[in-house]
Structure 1
Amino acid sequence: MIELLSDPAVWASFLTLTVLEIVLGVDNVIFISIAATRLPKDQRRRARVIGLTGALVLRILLLLSIAWIIGLSEPIATIFGLEISWRDVILIAGGLFLIYKASTEIFDEVEGGIHTTEETVVKAVFASVIFQIMLLDLVFSLDSVITAVGIADHIEVMIAAVVVAIVVMMIAAAPIAKFVEDHPSTKMLALAFLVMVGMALVADGFHFHVERGFIYAAMVFAGAVEMLNLWRAARRKRVAENA
């Protein structure tokens, strides 16, 4: 262990993997933040903490089961000439679930009208929200662990990078959730982002790899446009108040 701390290559792989884990965790944080809004305000922070803690535990357990993870990539069936593995099944199922959840949320935002606090409390069951979060955590954790195995050679480095990334996400989850809650238009943008991620997961499951960089670049551009709109609205509001 001491030898690892003095090895520059180990530190380089740790920093690289930590950054990648944080980037890969952005969609997870967005989903958790949006799912938690279905709960009463006094339960949202608890749901985010449980969700991200579950993600941490899942990723560590999966890292400790690397041989099993590698086995998930072995073909179990051939459908129309396409070799399907358990990893593909998990990615396809998780992607479809993410598309379904994001689409229903978009429908509720557009057609569902304004929900009162009482309606939200009745509709949102804490255990159900946590189950949904943990289900998506499994899909995102699988993607994260496969990335970790491909970059770092030491299990200690992988676990350390995952722990640091989850801590960063825990710190970022609250302000992200508050921002999305305060600006409904950004919630729609975040839901569209989750639909794109779901489509990318399904495509990966069918062996059509979509570079996440393209998705993130599109969302950064859309996010920048949304920030300009919010800035313009804030300036117009200040001008109106001073008039």
Structure 2
Amino acid sequence: MREGLMGWMNPMEWIGGPQAWFGVLGLTMIEILVGLANVVFIVILANEFPAAQRNGARLFGLGLMLLMRLWPLAQGLDWPVKFLNRSQLSVGPYEYTGQHLVLMAGGVLVLSLLFQGARSGWRIWKGAPDPADSGGGAGLRAMLVLFQIVALNAVFAARSVVTASAMASRVEVAMAAMLAAFWFLLRLSRPLARVAGTSPWQMMAWTALLVFANRMDWA
């Protein structure tokens, strides 16, 4: 498998084979399912910005989501796989691999983002003013949200890249699936962003859905 992923210097060899195209289709569907929770969290985080900046924050998060998936694939996936499988931290008799660290970071992020989503839904339901538009502490809030977007994308990208490396026989197949899934999720993010700021009950439903999706993604 590793030789197949590294052998991407002759990209025309695989285009005519139906097996590769079935691989692209199947992996695209999986990447959409894996990336859906990522996109919804980005939409929730983008709503922490003032209304005029939310679209830019959403596009920044989505662009970073794609970059953090394609770059490791272009490197051949050697270092991400080694990082995930090797011990990275020792605490007494316990050894923690990179996968353990990613899972712990993902759990903390998901809990904080679920809290933010529930808080935003409650604020909209109560008709309270949006704190992002008040201007108080806007710079610090923006830095915190940007950090959350970067960390969130890193956690989900690790899961996505490992899934792609396990399923794809060539790196071109994995990249094509990533791009196709990104195109779909990019188009989906626009209506999601519109709904996120107007319907507290749908925000609550998304929050419950993401708890289930997160368990499925990291099982």
The interval holding the TM-score normalised by the smaller chain is 0.7 to 0.9
2:81 is aligned to 70
Q: 1:111 to 1:126 in 2, by over 3 A?
A: closer
Percent sequence identity is: 28
Residue 120 (1) aligns with residue 137 (2): no
TM-score normalised per structure 1: 0.74
Aligned to 1:147: 163
CA apart distance, 1:120? 2.0
Please state if 1:96 is matched with 2:112: no
- 1:86 correspondence with 2:102: no
One-letter code aligned to 1:32:
I
1:83-134 deviation per Cα after TM superposition (whole angstroms, max 9, x unaligned) = 53112111211222211221244245447954324x3223653333222112
User: In the alignment, is the contact (CA less than 8 A) between 1:75 and 1:83 conserved in 2?
Assistant: no
* 2:63 alignment counterpart: 53
- Contact 1:56-1:166 at 8 Å conserved across structures: yes
Whole-Å Cα distance in 2 between the matches of residues 178 and 108 of structure 1?
Answer: 14
SS for the counterpart of 2:96 is: strand
Pairing 1:158–2:171 present: no
Distance in 2, Cα, partners of 1:171 & 1:177: 11
Q: Which residue of 2 aligns with 1:217?
A: none
Which has the higher mean CA deviation after the structures are superposed, 191-200 or 83-92? 191-200
Q: Please give the alpha-carbon distance, in whole angstroms, between the structure 1 residues aligned to 2:57 and 2:174.
A: 26
Q: Structure 2: how far apart are the matches of 1:47 and 1:98?
A: 19
Indicate if the aligned counterparts of 1:94 and 1:198 stay in contact, CA closer than 8 A.
no
1:154 and 1:98 map into 2 onto residues whose CA distance is 32
The structure with more radius of gyration: 1
Number of residue pairs aligned between Structure 1 and Structure 2: 202
Aligned to 1:106: 118
Q: Summarize the alignment of residues 142-221 of structure 1 with structure 2, pairs less than 5 Å apart.
A: 142-198=158-214, 204=218, 209=219
**What is the TM-score of this pair, normalised by structure 2?**
0.81
Separation in 2, partners of 1:114, 1:62: 44
Alpha carbons 1:62, 1:142 under 8 Å: kept: no
Q: Give the gaps of 5 or more residues in structure 1.
A: 210-243
| 1:40 and 2:53 are equivalent in the alignment | no
Structure 1 residues 127-136 or 21-30, which shifts more?
Answer: 127-136
Counterpart Cα distance in 2 of 1:50 and 1:136: 13
Q: Point out which structure has higher relative CO (alpha carbons under 8 A, 6+ apart).
A: 2
Post-superposition shift, 1:163?
A: 1.4
Q: Note the aligned Cα RMSD (angstroms).
A: 2.5
What's 2:8 paired with?
A: none
Q: Could you tell me which residue of structure 1 aligns to residue 37 of structure 2? A: 27
Give the unaligned 5+ runs of structure 2. Answer: 1-10
After superposition, the C-alpha distances for 1:117-176 in whole angstroms (9 at most, x for unaligned) are 4x3223653333222112101111111111100111111111121112112111110101
| Structure 1: distance between partners of 2:183 and 2:215 | 28
Structure 2 counterpart of 1:18: 28
Q: Per-residue CA shift, 1:16-63, capped at 9, x if unaligned?
A: 111111111110111011111122222111111110100111111122
CA distance in 1, matches of 2:120, 2:164: 37
